[in-house]
Amino acid sequence: MASRTQVPDFFSPEWVSQILKACGAAHKGGLVKKEVSNVILIAFSGSVNGNAFSHEDTKYGVCEIKANNDYFGSMENGVEWKEPRKSALVHRGALHQFLRIWTSCNLQQEVEAALRLGKTVLFTGHSIGGAIATLATLAILEKQPKCTSVFGITFGFPLIGDEVLARAVRRQGWANQFYHVVSKSDIFARILFAPCISVSEPLQTLLPYWTSTMQQMDDCSTDIAMKEPLPANLDINKFFKTVLQHGSTVVSYTSATNMDPTNKVIAALKPALKLNPFRPFGIYVFYSEKGAVWVENYEAVLPILYYTLAAAAQDQDQGLKDSITEHTEYHRLFPAAIRNMVKLEELSNLALSQQAAASSSHNAIEIQLHALGLGIQNPQARLALRAAGEVEKQMNENVKALYDELGKFELPQGPPGRDGKPSDGGLMTELKIYRKHYLENGCGCYDGFKWQKLEKDFKANTKRLKLASIWDRVLEMVENHKLPDDFQCREEWIRAGTEYRLLVEPLDIANYYRLGKNEDSGAYLTSARPRRYTMLQKWLQDRQVKNSQGREVLYPEVTQDSCFWAYVEDMIWSMKSASNAHDVKAQCDDFQWRVRQMIDLNDLCREEVAKEGSSFVKWWNLLSAEERAVSPLSFVFSGAPQANTSGEASMPFL
């Protein structure tokens, strides 16, 4: 399997040493900024006291990422039809530290200026400094969503926010701009497994110890291990077990979900378990004294965090000490470890037996997994990693199946059969031919479909229903996370969804009003618009926001507002049935200005709207001659609208 992400140049031993030196300097003197070979390196201090780190007002010390700031507008869930949009949650201590720095200097302006000059920007930090670096990277990406030259690199603090944040980052396509380095047994890298109240006491002791140790280092020497004695009043065993126990709960649940994603019993347990909310995003590098493992499958991250820490417990004495000291030894061990770095891929095929591992072609990976405590001797860990691989594999298969189906939408018509008629093409191809027929003959596609007089109208309705089923299934898969989080941001699916919406939603509207459903259920827009159209429209709007574009016309030959005919129908109904003439006039004026704006923007298919006998012409004929004369639409006619012999206005040009 080909590598999906190329290892960037700044993951060379030389670059990593430079980055870690900057992190060490930040521990001593605060924010560090330096430029190396056209790269701006910005390191945040990881020094923080226990009270600033642990906020016990919530169980896991989280708050909304948008709390008291406007830097993270897109960090929210993307399934608004399922529930109201909610903001992502992040670690409160990290957010407060970030805001304190970000609002007290002109760092954001400096970074934006550097990016305009074509420079690369690396935000980095050790310990909680890494969390601040992550938030700084997000803040810049929010301002410049298409920027590919800003990165965040963390050491010893791999989690910062909840699943909403993780999905939002992946949905925006930013995941490969975040890198998290984690030592095999570093307990602080797993500290967010546990509730604040469970670890606040040991952190009051450990945070000053870690800060003091980092500040005493001589220019981050990579040669000598620190011999600073551990705090005497620290109950390491109790602290270790607390973190491990809570990690076990969340990993057991996520692994069970991955192994049986449709199990309703497992899903029902989630509220009762009150799991910690922190979830991974980005690329993770786990290392030991033997080397490092590069992990892109985010489903594998929590199991690796847990099982590598659990492996340290097998060496009761040294393993527990290592879990404390490794947090301050990234500078000493990691530059050498990445010389033997492998990519962890094809997890769905991970060997589960000694025999399979021995015959595996991935011997280098097996060596590194064994060094991390994830070898064949740890079957639970291997099963969890296999399950993570199956999730990724199934998502990729789902995408492939949908791409195959998408290709069938546009199949051309086949050669003529025995009856002399060409065989059917793809569903969208056939509907385009159907629409073209009504543009060239009759009153336009909308009204032709609404009348349902011809066999081709019946066939078009069948195709409409088939396409609705397909797109409902696509959106259900997005909602249930059976597709990659960035699926709805992919250009080909945005285009396919937009074309489908513009071509087919008018047929849905025609069918709704043909059956008189508005008389019982109300207007289409307020009572009956299917969520598939709402979400497909949102996909396009989100893409335009990300690309800093205004309105975008993808298919200029079609009316750009797929709800146009619903406005027409509602206007006709109001004029025929309303008792309050003043209200109707205000509604009619609003509608006319809406149409006028569409004409000015070339958003209206004038060829279809102006067809004699169309619903739009019927609405126009409901206006009095005086109303037509002063209408904002009168300017589009060749002269003032003239009544024909029947007293109705003709529309020679629109």
pLDDT in tens, 447-482: 999 999 999 999 999 999 999 999 999 999 998 889
512's CB contacts (< 8 A; 6+ apart) are 518, 524, 528
Same domain? 428 vs 386: no
Give me the domain span that covers residue 425: 410-636
Tokens standing for residue 459: 């066939």
pLDDT of residue 422: 57
Distance (Å) of CA 483 to CA 391, 396, 397, 480: 10, 7, 9, 8
The count of other CB atoms within 10 Å of the CB of residue 638 is 10
d(C-alpha 134, C-alpha 117), whole Å: 22
Classify residue 18: in a domain, yes or no: yes
Contact 12, 39 (CB under 8 A): no
pLDDT digits (tens, 9 = 90+) for 242-277: 999 999 999 988 888 877 766 777 777 766 667 889
Residue 46 pLDDT grade (very low, low, confident, very high; cuts 50, 70, 90): confident
Classify residue 373: in a domain, yes or no: yes
- Weakest mean pLDDT among 404-413, 507-516, 571-580: 404-413
Residue type, 410: E
Q: Tokens 């939002």, residue?
A: 168
Same domain? 342 vs 423: no
Classify residue 404: in a domain, yes or no: no
Q: State percent of the chain over pLDDT 70.
A: 87
Higher pLDDT, 634 or 180: 180
Of 390, 423, 444, the domain-final residue:
390
Same domain? 478 vs 337: no
Same domain? 351 vs 428: no
d(C-alpha 149, C-alpha 551), whole Å: 27
Query: What's phi and psi for 285, nearest 5 deg?
Result: -125, 110
Strands 178-183 vs 283-287: parallel, antiparallel or unpaired: parallel
Classify residue 167: in a domain, yes or no: yes
Decide if pLDDT at 224 tops 70: no
Same domain? 350 vs 416: no
Decide if pLDDT at 228 tops 80: no
pTM of the entire predicted model:
0.87
3-state secondary structure of 161: strand
Decide if pLDDT at 581 tops 80: no
Provide the number of structural domains found in the chain: 2
> Within a 13 Å sphere around the CA of 316, how many CA atoms are in the beta-carbon half?
1
Residue 214 pLDDT grade (very low, low, confident, very high; cuts 50, 70, 90): confident
Same domain? 35 vs 137: yes
3-state helix, strand, coil in the chain (%, to 5): 55, 10, 35
81's CB contacts (< 8 A; 6+ apart) are 479, 531, 534, 535
Decide if pLDDT at 577 tops 90: no
The count of other CB atoms within 10 Å of the CB of residue 609 is 23
Classify residue 645: in a domain, yes or no: no
pLDDT digits (tens, 9 = 90+) for 385-435: 999 999 999 999 999 999 888 888 877 765 655 555 655 668 999 999 999
Classify residue 395: in a domain, yes or no: no
Contact 390, 348 (CB under 8 A): yes
Residue 650 pLDDT grade (very low, low, confident, very high; cuts 50, 70, 90): very low
d(C-alpha 343, C-alpha 292), whole Å: 9
Same domain? 371 vs 429: no
Same domain? 208 vs 126: yes
Among residues 466, 177, 121, which one has the least CA distance to residue 296?
Answer: 177
pLDDT of residue 128: 94
Same domain? 380 vs 440: no
Q: Burial of 229 by CB count in 10 Å (0-12 exposed, 13-18 middle, 19+ buried)?
A: exposed
Residue 52 pLDDT grade (very low, low, confident, very high; cuts 50, 70, 90): low
Same domain? 381 vs 476: no
Of 390, 421, 448, the domain-final residue:
390
Decide if pLDDT at 373 tops 50: yes
pLDDT of residue 75: 82
pLDDT digits (tens, 9 = 90+) for 55-110: 667 888 899 998 888 888 878 776 554 556 688 999 999 999 999 999 988 899 99
Strands 89-91 vs 62-64: parallel, antiparallel or unpaired: antiparallel
CATH number of the domain to which 129 belongs: 3.40.50
Same domain? 453 vs 328: no
pLDDT of residue 318: 85
Q: Can you give the length of the chain in residues? A: 654
Same domain? 90 vs 203: yes
Classify residue 477: in a domain, yes or no: yes
pLDDT of residue 48: 76
Query: What's phi and psi for 471, nearest 5 deg?
Result: -70, -30
Classify residue 648: in a domain, yes or no: no
Contact 472, 534 (CB under 8 A): no
